[in-house]
Amino acid sequence: MIPEHAVTNSERGDPQQSQSFFDRTRIIVGEQGMRTLAEAHVAVYGLGGVGAACALDLVRVGIGHLHVIDFDTVEPSNLNRLAFGFQRYVGWAKTDAFIDAACEINPHVEIVGKKIFFSGDTASDIIARECSFHVDCIDSIDPKVSLIAALRRENFVFISSMGTAGRLMPERLRLGPMASVKGCPLARAVRQKLTKIEIPLDFPVVWSDEPAVKPLPQEGQRRIQGSTPFVPQAAGHFMASWIIRLVLSSLCNGRER
């Protein structure tokens, strides 16, 4: 068994305030669209620079049920790119900090947060199978490959993020099938491992073709990646938009939510 800590939010706040909170989104997606978003179940794996922005976008637009997974805590070095990166959250589990921030935005969103450490061997065990839509924002190669492989083998609907660290130019982000990715070292490493285990490269990814600044070497430690808020958060916005458009398409094609 993988050790885990699950937390859920409780409803709070004035329903009238929630009504006005959704007014601008309702203009875009309509009343039925809002109901569809409220019924949707989405899982986000990883609450770093990309995943935090994506998950908060999903809250803001009206997704009703979220499942978020991350094993890390908020550190001062996260605050330059983490969408819920505020001093008051330093030392908190990212899952707890996200739920607290999300409920300030929409008090009625239902969230399950799990603080879980997982490896390549156990990545498939973390899949929230009650969710119909999945977002991979993991940045460790082996767990990422294993999660993607499990999602693809079980025919889940998902999107994956590739490398965003060490970059400054969000306009160089791309969205397309994994097989078409060029200029991303992380994608290259992931693609090689997926090819060896015969996983098709037809799933959607967000990547950047901007050359990344090399990380700083640290003797006896993991190399330190440079980062900015621009590219990771923009990638998260790309992914949230893709998910929302797919959820809304269920109005026409009858996809199970």
Question: Comparing C-alpha atoms, which of 212, 219, 125, 234 is closest to residue 166?
Answer: 212
CATH number at residue 219: 3.40.50.720
Domains of the chain: total: 1
Asked if residue 3 has pLDDT above 60, the reply is no
The pLDDT tens digits of the residues spanning 92-125 come to: 999 999 999 999 999 999 999 999 887 778 878 8
Mean pLDDT along residues 224-249: 95
Look-up of token digits 């996200």: 98
Q: What residue numbers bound the domain in which 244 lies?
A: 5-253
The pLDDT tens digits of the residues spanning 184-194 come to: 999 999 999 99
Structure tokens at 82: 């983490």
Q: How confident is the model at residue 175 (pLDDT cuts 50, 70, 90)?
A: very high
Asked if residue 247 has pLDDT above 60, the reply is yes
pLDDT for 9 equals 52
Cβ neighbours, 10 Å, residue 112: 20
Cα–Cα dist 184/188, whole Å: 6
Residue 96 CB burial class (10 angstroms; 0-12, 13-18, ≥19): middle
- Confidence (pTM): 0.90
Cα–Cα dist 197/200, whole Å: 9
Cα–Cα dist 69/118, whole Å: 10
Residue 182 CB burial class (10 angstroms; 0-12, 13-18, ≥19): exposed
Q: Is 254 left (phi over 0), alpha (psi -120 to 50) or beta?
A: left
Q: How confident is the model at residue 80 (pLDDT cuts 50, 70, 90)?
A: very high
- Say if CB 37 and CB 29 are below 8 A apart: yes
What φ, ψ does residue 88 adopt, rounded to 5°?
-65, -20
Q: Which residues of 13-43 are buried (b: 16+ CB within 10 A; e: fewer)?
A: eeeeeeeebbeebeeebeeebbebbbebbbb
Highest mean pLDDT among 9-23, 75-89, 110-124: 75-89
